[in-house]
């Protein structure tokens, strides 16, 4: 029997949770991208062979990219980003665990990813344009140590 969880899930109903936010509802985003891992390889040419072996080297992750309307300065996420990005490196960067979940119609997680030791590396505000009727968007990019699929 095919369940609704086995069908392709819509990408528009998702939740981002920062372990350090402790239930804070300040983590609503309109877009999440950058969930990607790639194995780097090193080509090895062996004498007498007509092919090249590709040996695994290291795992490479893209930054996790989060987009949303510009938040208030009192937002815990904004405060954390400012602490990291406006630092003089006198205090250590405090990374956190970030979880991303695709949700079903009841709001229960069906698929999930965790990003360990994440911290902001880029904070961007999109261009303001007086000829467009759009929400002002901020983009936060997070670097992380490792990722894993949890659901």
Digit-coded pLDDT (tens) for 19-74: 977 666 678 999 999 999 999 999 998 888 888 999 999 999 999 999 999 999 99
Asked whether the beta carbons of 64 and 139 are under 8 A apart, the reply is no
Q: How many CB atoms lie within 10 A of CB 41?
A: 13
Q: Interior CA angle at 5 toward 104 and 1, to 5°? A: 145
Report which DSSP code applies to 81. H
CATH class of 4-149: mainly beta
Digit-coded pLDDT (tens) for 80-109: 999 999 988 888 999 999 999 999 989 999
Strands 37-45 and 137-143: unpaired
């Amino acid at each position: 029997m095919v369940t609704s969880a086995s069908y392709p899930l819509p990408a528009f109903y998702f939740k981002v949770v920062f372990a350090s936010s402790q239930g804070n509802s300040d983590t609503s985003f309109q877009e999440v991208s950058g969930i990607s891992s790639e194995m780097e390889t090193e080509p090895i040419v062996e004498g007498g062979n007509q092919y090249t072996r590709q040996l695994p080297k290291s795992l490479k992750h893209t930054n996790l990219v989060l987009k949303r309307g510009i938040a208030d300065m009192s937002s815990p996420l904004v405060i954390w980003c400012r602490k990291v990005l406006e630092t003089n490196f006198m205090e250590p960067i405090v990374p956190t665990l970030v979880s991303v979940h695709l949700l079903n119609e009841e709001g229960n997680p069906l698929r999930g990813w965790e990003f360990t030791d994440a911290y902001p590396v880029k904070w961007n505000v999109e261009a303001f344009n007086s000829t467009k009727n759009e929400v002002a968007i901020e983009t936060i990019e997070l670097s992380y140590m490792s990722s894993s699929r949890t659901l």
